[in-house]
Amino acid sequence: MKQLTFLLLFLVTSLCLSQTENQSSLTIDQIMQGEDFVGYLPTDIEWSDDSKNIYFSWNPDNDTIRSTYEVNINTKKINKRSFEALKNSSSSGDFSKDFKWKVYEKGGDLFLQNTTDFTSKRITNTLDRESNPKFSGDQKSIIYQQSNNLYQWNIEDGTTKQLTDFKSGKEKPESKLNEQDQWLEDDQFENITILGKRKNESDARKYRREKAQFERPETVYYGDKNLFGLNISPDLNYVVYRLYAAPNNKNTNVPSYVTESGYTTDLNTRPKVGSEQYTYESWIFNVKTGKHYQIKTDDIEGIKDKPKFLKEYAENPSEYKEEYENPREVEISNPMFSEDGKALVNITSSDYKDRWIMTVDLSDGSLKLIDRQHDDAWIGGPGVGWFSSPAMGWLDDETIWFKSEKTGYAHLYSANVNSGKIKALTEGNFEILDVNLSKYKKTFYLISNKVSPHEQHFYHLPTSGGKMTQITSKKGGHEVTVSPDEKQLAIRYSYTNKPWELFVMPNKAGAEMTQLTTSTTKDFESYNWIDSEIINFTARDGASVPATLYKPKTDKKNGAAVIFVHGAGYLQNVHYWWPSYFREYMFHNILVDNGYTVLAIDFRASSGYGRDWRTGIYRHMGGKDLNDQVDGAKYLVEQQGIDKDRLGIYGGSYGGFITLMALFTSPETFKSGAALRSVADWAHYNHGYTANILNTPVEDPKAYEQSSPIYFAEGLKGNLLMLHGMIDTNVHFQDVVRLSQRLIELKKENWELAVFPLEDHSFVESSSWSDEYRRIFKLFQETLRK
């Protein structure tokens, strides 16, 4: 009996030890399989032309790659689309004013579709690529681009006409004889009569050939620049074209060591922030007169204004001038034409501080200001700039719509281009995230976080203004695609612990969403995923900071906590929909099963919370954004009973950068951290992202010095694990190598570097993901557990 009791005690003790090592029914190898474990969720949602079927990318059978499927919204039957069906289906295009016809490009050829019976006629069948087809203003022809020129296809008789003749280089001048040779030639004609006779005959033949030639477009030479952005006015009288000059910058080489050939190859990647940038010009070609002239921005409001930060570097502030002597460089967008031929453009300054919405007088290229948006930090926000293209367009021949952050949140506005009067169509402490116009321009279809920063819903709004009508109602995230007849909605919906699935519902408030797909695997469904809690804590400056809290059961709580830092900076991770960081979400479930509390913060810089939250990191990354992590740690200690000596932190890309800054500048807060694909020195990152936030290293060195981890490496006291793909063409492997050398020179010992020879910035292989997260889990197990 004693032996049996001892045996049972031994078995229980062994079981407890095993559960202490890993108390989760999940494994890291499982969750890091990604879609193979979760399921291949529906993506790339499109409607059939007749609004009866929804097309989407899917892989329910775990095939080698995804395929395109279709589901009938009435029968709910799902089928894989055949190659023949894919070849014969239409794509997005341009509709005639009466919506009876659609022209579209597919495979480099053009097609004209009858939207009554959905039959298509092939317009071109060439080896050259035709693109950007549009109906002419009179609806009698199709205008399209081939190579660097515009063509017109007559719908009635099928004839094709070339409208432009753009050529690189310069027109060759007529050769002119020098004085000596001219004398010789004149002497020949004077003394040899036959030579004069033959020249007269040659000139006569040339004259007659020229007179007998067909009418051709005027040749426009655009020099040594590059041509792009060809657009023509609805009346076909004006062509607006853009030119760019590419800088001669030095790019960073990224060596690829594991290759098919067995030889090391260099990947030629981007230059660094502060390098010379592309320059742009916009021109107008008057088809009737043959004249071409540049759209000049030299005199637009504020074009010479200097950024405010420059005054800090003035040697003599009392003599500092607020304006440059010369205008700033700008980029002018492609024009958007009203039906009566007015042209609308968006203009952005090269220093990212200003945006001008203007109309262009096509007859002379002059500009008229509709709205100027200025930000001492940088222009951005959904549908405004930076991470998204400016959203705007015409409502009628006098009225435009656009977005602005002038209230601190991205909202929708209209403006009368004649009077200049601007009207706010939406307002409040929320953002309009996406905007589309209904077919006849009577209704805006909106995605907004009006209900909560953590939910996204679909709305209707009259284009004249008024009440936003909420159409979707289920708590979570909704990605909506409206059917061509605008009667139905294809919706990708998800919740915190329920991955994206495809639904359909009538396009009206109060309608029911019907689920069409079930994509998750049995293995995924077998686990009870955490419905994590969204909380807010108060930062040191009084700001209310949103975060997702993952709490273990009381009997499992080990007193340690991990903070996760999302990437990109301008990204949202605290919300009620299935996260883009789904592997990390599942890893947090494993951490919770092992007793850890996890906090994931939407720190200063995150998207979804307005302009001030977005620009809170201006000129100091690793300032308020890092403080939010440290204050989050304080919240965990004071409100969640976490041991202040057992806090870890991890994240990738921007999250890796914050992890480095946390261990280097707040070593008393975090005992250990894992920094994945981290930026170690912002002066080595790209221009388009970094110069918005920190300006350039030459103009604003203070910003780079206070924002780059490499300057603070001496502060490392805790345990640091760095992980980086060796063929990372975004955050270069060179960054982590330079930081490693710095740590070596500082004689730091408590750090490790794991490298992944076949991974870019975004890891692809499940073996790499697994290795990465096994190391992270081991770090926390060895440094945070008692």
pLDDT in tens, 105-125: 999 999 999 999 999 999 999
Read off the pLDDT of residues 454-476 as tens digits, 9 standing for 90 and up.
999 999 999 999 999 999 999 99
Q: What is the mean pLDDT of the chain?
A: 95
Q: What is the pLDDT of residue 22?
A: 55
Q: Can you tell me the distance from the alpha carbon of 436 to that of 1, in angstroms, rounded to the nearest whole number?
A: 77
Confidence category of residue 12, pLDDT binned at 50, 70, 90: very low
Q: What is the pLDDT of residue 196?
A: 87
Instruction: Determine which of 171-175, 435-439, 510-514, 675-679 has the lowest per-residue pLDDT on average.
Output: 171-175
Question: Is the pLDDT at 2 greater than 50, yes or no?
Answer: no
Q: Can you tell me the distance from the alpha carbon of 287 to that of 143, in angstroms, rounded to the nearest whole number?
A: 14
Confidence category of residue 19, pLDDT binned at 50, 70, 90: very low
Q: What is the mean pLDDT of residues 188-211?
A: 88
Q: What is the pLDDT of residue 14?
A: 42
Q: What is the pLDDT of residue 25?
A: 87
Q: Which two three-digit tokens encode residue 502?
A: 């495809």
Beta strands in 251-353 (DSSP E): 253-256, 265-268, 279-286, 292-294, 330-332, 336-337, 343-349
Secondary structure of residue 531 in the 3-state scheme = coil
Beta strands in 24-108 (DSSP E): 43-47, 53-58, 67-72, 78-80, 93-95, 101-106
Question: Is the pLDDT at 490 greater than 90, yes or no?
Answer: yes
Q: Which two three-digit tokens encode residue 607?
A: 């998207």
Confidence category of residue 15, pLDDT binned at 50, 70, 90: very low
Confidence category of residue 409, pLDDT binned at 50, 70, 90: very high
Read off the pLDDT of residues 330-377 as tens digits, 9 standing for 90 and up.
999 999 999 999 999 999 999 999 999 999 999 999 999 999 999 999
Nearest Cα to Cα of residue 454 among 608, 257, 622, 312: 608
Query: Between the CA atoms of 608, 611, 612 and 618, what dihedral angle is there, to the nearest 10 degrees?
Result: 110
DSSP one-letter code for 116: T
Confidence category of residue 189, pLDDT binned at 50, 70, 90: confident
Beta strands in 191-246 (DSSP E): 219-221, 226-232, 238-245
Q: What is the mean pLDDT of residues 269-288?
A: 96
Q: What is the mean pLDDT of residues 223-236?
A: 97
Q: What is the pLDDT of residue 16?
A: 42
Q: What is the mean pLDDT of residues 772-781?
A: 98
- Length of the chain measured in residues: 786
Question: Is the pLDDT at 658 greater than 50, yes or no?
Answer: yes
Do strands 219-221 and 226-232 pair parallel, antiparallel, or not at all (unpaired)? unpaired
Q: Which residue has the tokens 């006849």?
A: 440
Q: What is the mean pLDDT of residues 505-533?
A: 97
Q: What is the pLDDT of residue 23?
A: 63
DSSP one-letter code for 376: S
Show the CA angle centred on residue 536, arms to residues 533 and 542, nearest 5°.
170
- Percentage of residues of the chain with pLDDT beyond 70: 97
DSSP one-letter code for 463: T
Question: Is the pLDDT at 380 greater than 70, yes or no?
Answer: yes
Does an H or E element contain 192, and which?
Answer: none
Read off the pLDDT of residues 694-744 as tens digits, 9 standing for 90 and up.
999 999 999 999 999 999 999 999 999 999 999 999 999 999 999 999 999
Does an H or E element contain 637, and which?
Answer: helix 624-640
Looking from the CA of 554 toward its CB, the CA atoms found within 13 Å total 0
- Paired with 784 in beta bridges are none
Q: What is the pLDDT of residue 8?
A: 40
